[in-house]
Amino acid sequence: MEPEHRHATAVSVLGCGVLLVGPSGAGKSDLALRLIDEGAELIADDRVTLENRDGTLWAAPLPGWGGVMEVRGMGLIRLAEMSSAAIAVVIELTEVAAIERLPDDPRISILGIDIPHWRIDPRTPSATAKVRLAVNRARGAILAYSEQTHAQHGD
């Protein structure tokens, strides 16, 4: 399968790739900048090359654009960057009114690969914490609460 280019931003959070998607002006670069300020690493800003490598989705910058980020009001800034990373979760940026309160294990298929897919409002103070929660959930470090868990604990 051929690599695909998408309007998106990708960062590595806790060693896992996060693909930030949403319409132009949704806040992808801004959220990525806040995540980077908290220890994430830039993979690609604005345009991301996606590739299916043996059933794993990988993200990389377009050639010549590694480490370049658009910071609104400051222009193009060069940051340290990773050359590529496996994507563990897709975060779709949207307004809070469009976010389901209790989604049931949402997933999205990209290049034939099913990936956890969460919607968050990037303007909320908890946005970066929610991205880290999504990453931890995708890598199995935290589990989702379920009726089965509830029943097992006798709650």
**Secondary structure letter of residue 81 according to DSSP:** B
In angstroms, the CA 97 to CA 102 distance is 13
What's 103's domain CATH number?
Answer: 3.40.50.300
Res. 26: pLDDT tops 80? yes
pLDDT of residue 115: 96
Domain count for the chain, please give it: 1
3-class secondary structure for 20-58? EECCCCCCHHHHHHHHHHCCCEEEECCEEEEEEECCEEE
Pick from 13, 17, 14: nearest CA to 110: 17
How confident is the model over 70-128, as pLDDT tens digits?
Answer: 888 888 888 877 789 999 999 999 987 777 776 777 899 999 999 999 999 999 999 99
Res. 150: pLDDT tops 80? no
How confident is the model over 40-66, as pLDDT tens digits?
Answer: 999 999 999 999 999 999 999 998 888
3-state class (DSSP) for residue 131: helix
The residue range of the domain holding 27 is 4-152
Output the CA–CA distances (angstroms, integers) from residue 155 to 5, 71, 146, in the order listed: 47, 48, 11
pLDDT of residue 64: 85
Res. 151: pLDDT tops 80? no
pTM, rounded to two decimals = 0.87
Output the CA–CA distances (angstroms, integers) from residue 94 to 83, 126, 134, in the order listed: 28, 14, 16
3-state class (DSSP) for residue 66: coil
Res. 9: pLDDT tops 70? yes
pLDDT of residue 109: 94
